[in-house]
């Protein structure tokens, strides 16, 4: 049996990756936080609904807990708050030859993975596609197919292994020279729309279509970009506002990750996404009133979840 690809975190991004790999005939093992749910997923698979409405059952997954190490590659698609736990839990399946790929939101996890696995095995990336795990065993794809992977000193072999697997799985892969710019750009985009859509319980298309929501999102984006630039983080695009609105138009029915988390009663990734931007703004004395309000609203919503 060929060495499987390990997918750590069977959420929306992890299942999107698993679906693409299985379509390509790649052996996939799932590692989840809950062993029973992991076994059910391996036994029954999951249903994928494409943007055009077509449905497909994905099967042939393995439970990581039933496999002997090592894995061919390990893709981490976990929430930012689970980074350390997931990195430690997956170590038994990761050898010196295993490419370790982190596809996560936020800033700061890159240091965790390099400490755990070293710079040569570690590849940091981000996803620009929309997926919604609406229920256990159900995944809805809402558009996009782009994955960005960053070069880092010494990670050439792991980077190529990751790129090849993602291309095989049907994703459009872009290699980036600046990991820093890649992460701060995605954080700025996420900070502009994720907390706003989550607080208002609206899909991404409403952010672009509603004048008031659009104005708030663009104000948050401007503050985030200014804070990043003042702190020396060069963003990937000069037309950030245009790209943000285009993203909303391209995925009008998408519930972003913060909205999905709140709907499921989970803590969001607001701290990992917005925290570094707010800290940068504070240190550089960049006004960020919109970001501050959005962060406070999400914090209040998370507190209400803990009380229920």
pLDDT tens string 17-64 = 999 999 999 999 999 999 999 999 999 999 999 999 999 999 999 999
Q: Please write down the HEC assignment for all residues of the chain.
A: CCCCEEEECCCHHHHHHHHHHHHCCCCEEEECCCHHHHHHHHHHCEEEECCCCCEEEECCCEEHHHCCCCCCEEEECCCHHHHHHHHHHCHHHCCCCCEEEEECCCCCHHHHHHHHHCCCCEEEEEEEEEEEEEECCEEEEEEEEEEEEECCCCCHHHHHHHHHHHHHCCCEEEEECCHHHHHHHHHHHHHHHHHHHHHHCCCHHHHHHCHHHHHHHHHHHHHHHHHHHHCCCCCCCCCHHHHHHHHHHHCCCCCCHHHHHHHCCCCCCHHHHHHHHHHHHHHCCCCCHHHHHHHHHHHHHHHHHHHC
pLDDT at 304: 87
pLDDT category at 176 given cuts 50, 70, 90 is: very high
Give the whole-angstrom CA distance, residue 66 versus residue 213. 47
Decide if pLDDT at 135 tops 90. no
Looking at the chain, which residues constitute the CATH 3.40.50.720 domain(s)?
5-177
Decide if pLDDT at 130 tops 70. yes
- Of 102, 151, 97, which is closest to residue 124 (Cα–Cα)? 102
pLDDT at 69: 83
pLDDT category at 308 given cuts 50, 70, 90 is: low
pLDDT category at 136 given cuts 50, 70, 90 is: confident
Looking at the chain, which residues constitute the CATH 1.10.1040.10 domain(s)?
181-307
In the numeric block, which tokens belong to residue 69? 């190490």
Q: What percent of the chain has pLDDT over 90?
A: 95
- Residues 6+ away with beta carbon under 8 Å from 145: 129, 170, 171, 172
Give the whole-angstrom CA distance, residue 30 versus residue 62. 6
Quick check: pTM over 0.75?
yes
Tokens 């996420």 identify what position? 190
Structural contact between residues 254 and 132, judged by C-beta atoms closer than 8 angstroms = yes
- Residue 276 backbone dihedrals phi, psi, to 5 degrees: -60, -35
pLDDT tens-digit map of 224-256: 999 999 999 999 999 999 999 999 999 999 999
pLDDT at 2: 76
Identify the CATH number of the domain defined by range 5-177: 3.40.50.720
Structural contact between residues 182 and 150, judged by C-beta atoms closer than 8 angstroms = yes
What mean pLDDT comes out for the span 140-147?
95
pLDDT category at 1 given cuts 50, 70, 90 is: low
The mean predicted confidence, pLDDT, of the chain is 95
Q: How many CA atoms lie within 13 A of 295 on its CB side?
A: 18
CATH architecture of the domain formed by 181-307: Orthogonal Bundle (1.10)
Q: What percent of the chain has pLDDT over 70?
A: 99
- Residues 6+ away with beta carbon under 8 Å from 107: 183, 184, 187, 272, 273, 276
């Amino acid at each position: 049996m060929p060495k499987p690809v390990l997918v750590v975190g069977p959420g929306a991004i992890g299942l999107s990756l698993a679906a693409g790999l299985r379509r390509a005939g790649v052996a996939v093992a799932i590692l989840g936080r809950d062993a029973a749910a992991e076994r059910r997923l391996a036994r029954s698979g999951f249903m994928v609904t494409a943007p055009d409405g077509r449905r497909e059952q994905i099967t042939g997954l393995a439970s990581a807990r039933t496999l002997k190490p090592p894995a061919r590659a390990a893709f981490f698609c976990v929430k930012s708050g689970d980074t350390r736990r997931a990195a430690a839990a997956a170590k038994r399946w990761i050898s010196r030859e295993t490419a370790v790929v982190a596809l996560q939101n936020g800033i700061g996890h890159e240091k965790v993975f390099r400490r755990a696995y070293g710079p040569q095995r570690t590849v940091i990336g981000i996803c620009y596609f929309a997926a919604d795990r609406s229920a256990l065993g159900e995944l809805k794809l809402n558009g996009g197919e782009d994955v960005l992977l960053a070069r880092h000193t010494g990670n050439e072999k792991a980077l190529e292994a990751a790129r090849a697997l993602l291309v095989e799985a049907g994703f459009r892969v872009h290699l980036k020279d600046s990991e820093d710019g890649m992460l701060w750009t995605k954080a700025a985009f996420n900070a502009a729309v994720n907390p706003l859509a989550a607080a208002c319980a609206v899909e991404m298309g409403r952010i672009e279509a509603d004048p008031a929501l659009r104005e708030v999102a663009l104000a948050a984006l401007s503050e985030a970009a200014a804070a990043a630039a003042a702190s020396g983080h060069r963003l990937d695009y000069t037309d950030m506002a245009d790209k943000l609105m285009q993203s909303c138009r391209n995925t009008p029915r998408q519930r972003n990750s913060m909205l999905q988390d709140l709907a499921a009663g989970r803590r969001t990734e607001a701290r990992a996404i917005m925290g570094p931007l707010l800290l940068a703004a504070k240190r550089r004395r960049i006004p960020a009133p919109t970001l501050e309000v959005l962060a406070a609203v999400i914090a209040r919503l998370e507190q209400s979840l803990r009380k229920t």
